Structure 1
Amino acid sequence: MSALPGNLAFDEYGRPFIILRDQDKEKRLTGTDALKSHIMAGRTIATTLRSSLGPKGLDKMMVSSDGDVTVTNDGATILKLMDVDHEIAKLMVQLSQSQDDEIGDGTTGVVVMAGALLEQAETLLDKGIHPIRIADGFEMAAQCAIKRLEQIADNFPIDLNNLEPLIQTAMTTLGSKIVNKCHRQMAEIAVNAVMAVADLEKRDVNFELIKLEGKVGGRLEDTMLVRGVIVDKDFSHPQMPKELKDVKLAILTCPFEPPKPKTKHKLDVTSVEDYHALRKYEQEKFSEMVQQVKDTGATLAICQWGFDDEANHLLLQRNLPAVRWVGGPEIELIAIATGGRIVPRFEEISADKLGYAGRVKELQFGTTKERMLVIEECRNSRAVTIFIRGGNKMIVEEAKRSLHDALCVIRNLVKDDRVVYGGGAAEIACSIAVAEEANKISSLEQYAFRAFAEALEAVPLALAENSGLSPIETLSEVRSRQVKENNPALGVDCMLKGTCDMKEQHVIETLHSKKQQLVLASQLVKMILKIDDIRSANESEGY
């Protein structure tokens, strides 16, 4: 047998095989050691996110390998951008992502909750309780907490004539975000956007009809809701009118150019006459295409492809304003908004396929040459665009993420109109209920119940800590008042408004989000507690 440099070797028949080196240094973690390793990784991730929880939570700056900077306190975004090696830490990242995909909010809270459960599980393991009994106890406790959430939830009827409660809910979501300096304005924009596209009979919201567009420059306060579509393009010719009214749009996915054969082709121009004949043919074709569009009564052509200067000049001469290089998603959104049909060939264009918009205008920004096109007062006004302004790219991107969270919360309320109160009030109420249930259990699971009750208090503790309050004193006071007054709306006064009643402060969270956090956190912890064997080539790398 001959060995080559590296890990590849050949036997006497010339067949290659791989040699695994350093087998003597390989380590294997089993049993409690493996579980402790998992718990340490999960707790590290949770501790990182803990300081970002709540309205006074701090932001994180993430710098990618190529130097891109992101400043955010959105849990899902932080974890997505973190460079994580440990497999259990990757599960925590996926936990936050699944909360974001399903709910859109509570991505930090769910990770803090899972970290607190892992911390409690470690204490129970040290007492000698089997991990399966702990996992089963946590699952039972989660069901008990969800039952308590159902009891304390308030109905939240959605009334199009009174959007104030929805706005208050959106303001709760935006309270911890960078946009909180104009946070009522942003909440109103989010509510109006969702209400414009919501189908209240089916209790459904089509997010495809809400588009978020951002442009650097201006202030956050300049952010506006456009009941139509904004396209990051301008009119194809600078002399075309900058504003059009009562517009009939021809939406084209065919280019303004002479037809070409599908196969490879070559044309030799050998004389001046041939050149003139070719040029005349092209002019006739351009003229015919423009006339076909004009004959339908169209007053604006929106084209997915480009066209050359000759076609552009001809469009200007024939008084047919045009926009070129409009992307596929924008084309589809314009078609939905204006009620038009996308036309793939000039021969198929007709008056009944045109879309309608009350106004199309070109926006200009500051001293730059950047322009955008706004299509408003459409036939199908359900398509809306939130146009975000900000001092730099980071602020615009964070405002987009913040508004996405607010949109998701309002959508959840349309689907399920039950709410609980924030500021840790719901968690404290559930903690009290789970602790009381533990006293009724005679089996070993009572320890897991009490541990779950303690883990639930991690959220209000973190909120108090991040708000500069004394965590233990604040939690003890709120907890005792909840028991005495039987008021599950009492939470941590993070904004120092002088009352702990979250109902008075209008700090509202959706029931659906809270339930999902409990379910996902308990499921993940159960999965981690069932893994008791790790094999690693080097214990210090990744474990």
Structure 2
Amino acid sequence: MTHLNFIPVYSIFKILSTSLGPKGLDKVIVNIEESTLFTQNENYNQNFDINDLIITNDGATIMKNLPIKHPLGIILKQLSNSIDVQVGDGTTSGVILACKLLEESEKLLIKNYHPNLIIKSYQIAYDQCKKILNLNCIELNIPSIFIYNEKEFNNAENNDIKILKQIISTSLSSKILSNYIEQFTKFCFQAVSYIQDPSSTLIFNNIQNNIKYNKILGNNIASTKLIRGIIIKLRLDNINIMELNNSSFNSNNSVNNNFKTMLINFDIGFIDENTLKLIKYNNLNFNKIEMIENEKKQLEIKQATDFISNLKNQNKEDEPIIIFSSKRISLSCLKLFKDNNIKIIYNLSDEEILNIQKVTFSPIVINTITSTIHSSYFGTCKINQTIEKQSEFYLEILNDQSNVCTFLLKAPSVFIIEEIQRSLNDSISILSLIIENKKIISGGGSNELQLSSGLEKFIKSNEFNQLVVDESKQDIFKIMNCIKSFARALQIIPILLINNAGFDSLVLFEHLKIIHKEQISKDYNYTSINLNSGKISNMLELGVIESLKGKETILKMIIDTVSMIIKIDQMIK
């Protein structure tokens, strides 16, 4: 029986293996085809584009940017992307485990084990892994609707909140934010609380759509902030309008009173021929260009005046109004809005308008300016204008009821900013999965040791014998060997974690295997190596914790990916 060449798989394993864990090393990824970094030109430094260079130890980022062309590598790249999208963390360990399982599978294929038998055995192993994980998991008493409470967060009298804080603190301590743990742990709690829909207990699915990032190069990491709403960068024309048109806006970052908001998707002050015919201005003389222009200008002003009048009629509370438009506003109409103390931001992108809609709950008005305005067209928000580096103006659009939040990331380097975003995304993903499912397991390689030890015991148990009672003796022997291979593959995670921390894995790993094999008490199931001290420790006490659902999802995706690959016996070009 023929099978594929797994050399590309081993190459990916070699690249990722040194990046696993909190002590993992960084990779520098350069786009050689587009970058000038390796050019023979002596002045290459002047032409170097910073976007061609990536420095990271994040598995998802490494896999995404690797120039992979081999089909097996592309499949593993898709696995990495799936883990990143569905779980948010654990990409490096997931791909490494898949590579190791493929290595073990190749050994079985060389011995003429049929792929279908291997796949069947791996499925048995996966089912048993789920049982072991559920047996050793801990369920937290967390409310389904998670609400951030400043007092509860600071005092942490609730033991479960303490555990959650420790989980995020441990996650951040292994990343670039290790010196800002308290600040960014608080940000993670706030973000999860903000993005959760009160009508649903699901949080994880909202991360991608409801958490936004604005990046400012300069200042320090501690200047990063989180708001409940969105931040838009003002263009030069809007900056001037805001300064002229809004005496209540100022640069001292103070939040103003509530604004009524309206989102429009039509021009104001730009009249086309169809509009002229619709409104039927019979006194227009089309033979005289000057008269036409004057009439059009008067018509523009009349339209804007009618629009402003309609706005004021519906604004019975006399609250300040701000309009966000994705279209143009003529200069003459801008002056009218200014005179009537109506703030307006125009020429916004479609994405910005949609994000503002999520915050203000305003419908987007797409009909013409002559239509009647209803009170239902209005939303609400708070506005805060900030100035960065004396040249960049940002508008914060805030709403305490919004499910959208925005991080304003600041750091002295582009690479640091990108790493901060990845760190926050990983930590928020972990927190949201745990709050959703409430069940946690120990991390740091301890659960892989649990599973490996549990599978070795399983193949000697009566449960296994009953499961394979209808199989031939030869197939039973092969299934046992396949499950042993699965158990050996799991051991690669704690081995690499120990190696990457600079300790001797040969001695420490064997010691851990004995502890998990003997299982003197349930607490020993949670033991692994403290990667800071090199001592055997309880991972739950250290806060090295994973989501049960996340682990099950990753294992299932690994099994499916490996099963698909080992069933391929020929590649046709």
TM-score, structure 2 as length reference: 0.81
Contact 2:495–2:509, Cα closer than 8 Å, also in 1: yes
Pairwise CA distance, 1:235: 4.4
Partner of residue 253, structure 2: none
Q: Look up the equivalent residue of 2:225 and give its one-letter code.
A: M
Structure 1 counterpart of 2:377, one-letter code: K
Which residue of 304, 324, 336 maps to 2:326? 304
Counterpart residue number, 2:550: 513
2:439 to 393, 412, 418: 418
Change (3 A) 1:439 1:249: same
- TM-aligned CA distance change 1:262 to 1:439, over 3 Å: farther
- Change in CA separation of 1:53 and 1:184 when aligned onto 2, cut-off 3 Å: farther
2:80/2:91 contact within 8 Å kept? yes
What one-letter code is carried by the residue in structure 2 that aligns with 1:212? Y
Q: Compared with structure 1, are the counterparts of its residues 272 and 129 closer, same or farther at alpha carbon in structure 2 (3 Å cutoff)?
A: closer
Contact 1:96 1:111 in 2 (8 A): yes
Q: 1: CA distance between counterparts of 2:290 and 2:274? A: 27
Query: Per-residue deviation at 1:335?
Result: 2.8
CA distance in 1, matches of 2:66, 2:276: 49
Task: Give % identity.
Answer: 25
C-alpha spacing 1:81/1:428, structure 2 compared with 1 (3 Å): same
Q: How does 1:421-500 map to 2 (within 5 A)?
A: 421-440=442-461, 442-484=476-518, 485-486=520-521, 487-496=524-533, 498=535, 500=537
Q: 1:271 to 1:341 in 2, by over 3 A?
A: closer
Query: Which residue identity lines up with residue 503 of structure 2 in the other structure?
Result: L
* CA shift for structure 1 position 417: 1.2
Query: 1:217 aligned to 2:215?
Result: no
SS of match in other structure, 1:488: helix
Aligned to 1:230: 231
Question: Once the 2 structures are TM-superposed, how far is the Cα of residue 467 of structure 1 from its aligned partner?
Answer: 0.7
Question: In structure 1, what is the equivalent of residue 41 of structure 2?
Answer: none
- Indicate conservation of the 8 Å contact 2:266/2:328, yes or no: no
- 1:363 equivalenced with 2:386 (yes/no): yes
In 2, distance between residues paired with 1:120 and 1:92? 16
* CA distance in structure 2 between the partners assigned to 1:483 and 1:267 by the alignment: 96
Unaligned stretches of 5+ residues in structure 2: 36-51, 153-157, 251-255, 278-283, 465-475
CA distance in 2, matches of 1:88, 1:267: 72
Q: Distance in 2 between matches of 1:372 and 1:173?
A: 31
Q: Which amino acid aligns with 2:165?
A: I
CA pair 273-453 structure 1, distance change in 2 beyond 3 A: closer
Query: Does the aligned pair in 1 maintain the 2:197–2:403 contact within 8 Å?
Result: no
CA distance in 2, matches of 1:501, 1:123: 35
Relative to 1, partners in 2 of residues 1:532 and 1:349: Cα closer, same or farther, differing over 3 Å? same
Residues 531 and 334 of structure 1, relative CA distance in 2, 3 Å threshold = same
Aligned to 2:177: 179
Partner of 1:192: 190
Tell me whether 1:320 sits opposite 2:342 in the alignment: yes
Measured after TM superposition, the shift of residue 497 of structure 1 is 7.5
Q: Is the 8 A contact 1:236 1:324 kept in 2?
A: no
1:125 CA drift (Å): 3.5
Report how far residue 423 of structure 1 moved. Answer: 0.6
| Matched letter for residue 312 of structure 1 | L
Question: For the residues of structure 1 that align with 2:411 and 2:311, how far apart are their CA atoms?
Answer: 39
1:288 paired with 2:256, answer: no
Q: How far apart, CA to CA, are the structure 1 residues paired with 2:193 and 2:377?
A: 28
* Equivalent residue number for residue 113 of structure 1: 97
Provide the C-alpha distance between the structure 1 equivalents of 2:430 and 2:296, rounded to a whole number of angstroms: 60
Secondary structure of the corresponding residue to residue 56 of structure 1: coil
**Equivalent residue, structure 2, for 1:522:** 559
Query: Which amino acid is the alignment partner of residue 92 of structure 2?
Result: T
Checking the alignment, whether the CA contact within 8 Å between 2:269 and 2:301 is kept in structure 1 is no
Farther-moved stretch of structure 1 (121-130 vs 259-268): 259-268
SS of residue matched to 1:534: coil
Change (3 A) 1:493 1:379: closer
Query: C-alpha displacement at 1:126, in angstroms?
Result: 4.0
Whether the aligned pair in 2 keeps the contact of 1:269 and 1:275 (CA below 8 Å) is no
Name the SS for the 1:443 alignment partner: helix
Q: TM-score, normalised by structure 1?
A: 0.85
Report the alpha carbon displacement of residue 354 of structure 1 after superposing the two structures with TM: 1.6
Distance 2:434 2:274 in 1: 52
Offset at residue 267 of structure 1 (A): 9.9
- 1:28 paired residue number: none
* Cα distance in 2 between the residues matched to 1:437 and 1:60: 39
Q: Does 1:382 align with 2:403?
A: yes
Displacement of 1:516: 1.7
- Pair 1:264–1:66, CA change in 2 (3 A): farther
Aligned length: 500
Say yes or no: does 1:251 pair with 2:263: yes
RMSD value, Cα: 2.6
Partner of residue 144, structure 1: 128
Shift in Å, 1:517: 2.0
Residue identity in the other structure for 2:348: V
Q: Once the two structures are superposed, what CA deviation does each residue of 1:104-135 show, in whole Å capped at 9, x if it has no partner?
A: 11111110101111222233334443443333
- Cα shift at 1:472: 1.9
> Does the C-alpha gap of structure 1 residues 291 and 495 become closer, same or farther in structure 2, counting only changes over 3 Å?
farther
> Do the aligned partners of residues 480 and 85 (structure 1) sit closer, same or farther apart at CA in structure 2, a change above 3 Å counting?
same
Cα shift at 1:396 = 2.0
* Matched residue, 1:354: 378
Shift of 1:86: 0.9
Q: Tell me how far 1:498 sits from its aligned partner.
A: 4.8
Q: Which amino acid aligns with 1:356?
A: T
Letter in 2 for 1:372: Y
- Which residue in 1 is equivalent to 2:117? 133
Distance 1:499 1:185 in 2: 30
> How far apart, in 2, do the equivalents of 1:91 and 1:418 lie?
30
Partner amino acid, structure 2, of 1:284: K
Q: Which moved more, 1:518-527 or 1:492-501?
A: 492-501
Call closer, same or farther: CA 1:306–1:471 in 2, change over 3 Å: farther
The answer (yes or no) to whether the contact 2:358–2:402 under 8 Å persists in 1 is no
- Aligned-pair CA distance for 1:363: 0.9
Per the alignment, in what secondary structure is the counterpart of residue 494 of structure 1?
coil
Q: Point out where structure 1 has 5 or more consecutive residues left out of the alignment.
A: 1-30, 537-543
In 1: Cα distance, 2:296 partner to 2:380 partner: 37
Matched, 1:47 2:14: yes
In structure 2, the CA distance between the partners of 1:278 and 1:126, relative to structure 1 (3 Å rule), is closer
Separation in 1 of the partners of 2:109 and 2:290? 92
Q: Say whether the 8 Å CA contact 1:146–1:518 is kept in structure 2.
A: no
**Which of 409, 420, 433 matches 2:430?**
409
* Pair 1:430–1:318, CA change in 2 (3 A): same
1-structure distance, mates of 2:59, 2:174: 12
Aligned match of 2:60: 76
> What is the DSSP-based 3-state SS (H/G/I as helix, E as strand, rest coil) of the residue aligned with 1:474?
helix
Contact 1:338 1:355 (C-alpha < 8 Å) held by counterparts: yes
Distance 1:309 1:72, change over 3 A: farther
Structure 2: distance between partners of 1:260 and 1:272: 16
SS of the residue 2:383 aligns to: strand
Assess, with a 3 A threshold, how the Cα gap between structure 1 residues 392 and 268 changes in structure 2: closer, same or farther: farther
